[in-house]
Structure 1
């Protein structure tokens, strides 16, 4: 299936950079430390199941209203920085992003990492994007990022496609009438299509080059 689009907005963790397994380990350890009744494996699984939103929001899904959620979130965010900056863009990611921009697509990043962290990472890596959006208070991946990109580049909703690796990413796109491509890995093709039957899935980023068309 070919998707006609003008702009591609990419999720970051798990889509452009392989950080999800390490983040899941940190989340599992932090949750288990505060809640010994929740095993490390269960906490880790819950983190992956709810991925796609900031960790403090994940905690409100996993442990709604728990008074230590803000403390757990602070520990997680501080601990993950080491692993975050040890990560790099793969050769495949560099090739695909560069090729998409060479073909005339607008290419951007939409991340729930804090804005300053995502800017530092991308500046260090030297890979060019047309726009880089991170988390700020009241401005996060999903509706706010989509609307900003559409306005900034004078697009229509149908001109934008979101590429992500989680069911939450798919939910954000579908509920905002944005086209979505699911990168399998964190979730399988069957898991994506079971919940969102109409979406396109890919097994690698290189597949994007044959399934998107500029119009």
Structure 2
């Protein structure tokens, strides 16, 4: 759901608070205490908005069905780090490949990998090391290692109950990932959750995550 209303909606009241600070700054020409009054007013306004949102969220979460009244038709889940805890494995594998094949430290490799996470690994490597002659071989090694490693990771405990929750409410469920689609399909079949999903989409030539 979204916060609504003049004071609770995201982004509302920001201009007013900036205006109050500006007035407080100008008013220091009359008395220095004006800055304190302006800051105190902004703090009270901000705290009131936060408390209002907390109350709305708490009240909403106590309903028998938190999704009641929404027009939710489908839920799309990421795969790595959402369905299964593969991110440490993938990060470690990527860092090792980068440090072995390029002039880059472990720290820098880890940082650059995480910064570009979300794209397929081929796009990540091309962004980090543009047109490097080793890119193709590194990507091929990564994909082969991913296939062997990902299939051995268990589901998060919350995955099946969550998928069942949405299925019972006739809300469609999908997985969309930058990992190769063939690997995703193998995994969901091996994990026994293919009947809880309406579709799985992953990277394949000509079809990236954003599509």
| TM bucket normalised to smaller | 0.5 to 0.7
TM-score w.r.t. length of structure 1: 0.62
Give the count of matched residue pairs: 142
2:110 counterpart of 1:82: no
Deviation per CA, 1:126-165: give whole Å up to 9, x if none: 11201111221111211x2xxxxxxxxxxxxxxxxxxxxx
Within 1, Cα distance between the matches of 2:147 and 2:110?
A: 18
Equivalent residue for 1:94, pick from 160, 182, 196: 160
Equivalent residue for 1:29, pick from 82, 87, 96: 96
Within 5 Å, give how 1:156-167 maps onto structure 2.
none
Equivalent residue for 2:183, pick from 117, 120, 126: 117
SS in 1 for 2:75: strand
TM-score w.r.t. length of structure 2: 0.64
SS in 1 for 2:158: helix
Larger radius of gyration: 2
Within 1, Cα distance between the matches of 2:100 and 2:74?
A: 42
> What residue in structure 2 maps to residue 134 of structure 1?
202
Displaced runs of 4 or more, over 6 A: none
> What residue in structure 2 maps to residue 202 of structure 1?
none
> What residue in structure 1 maps to residue 84 of structure 2?
17
Unaligned runs of 5+ in 1: 145-215
How big is the shift at 1:18? 0.9
Within 5 Å, give how 1:44-193 maps onto structure 2.
44-127=110-193, 128-142=196-210, 144=211
How big is the shift at 1:5? 2.2
How big is the shift at 1:4? 4.2
Within 2, Cα distance between the matches of 1:4 and 1:64?
A: 43
How big is the shift at 1:23? 0.4
SS in 2 for 1:133: strand
SS in 2 for 1:8: strand
SS in 1 for 2:82: coil
Structure 1 vs Structure 2 CA RMSD: 1.4
Deviation per CA, 1:71-106: give whole Å up to 9, x if none: 111111112223201112122111111111111211
Within 2, Cα distance between the matches of 1:99 and 1:52?
A: 26
Q: Which has the higher strand share?
A: 1
Within 1, Cα distance between the matches of 2:167 and 2:209?
A: 22
Higher relative contact order (CA 8 A, sep 6+): 1
Within 1, Cα distance between the matches of 2:107 and 2:148?
A: 22
Equivalent residue for 1:39, pick from 82, 105, 119: 105
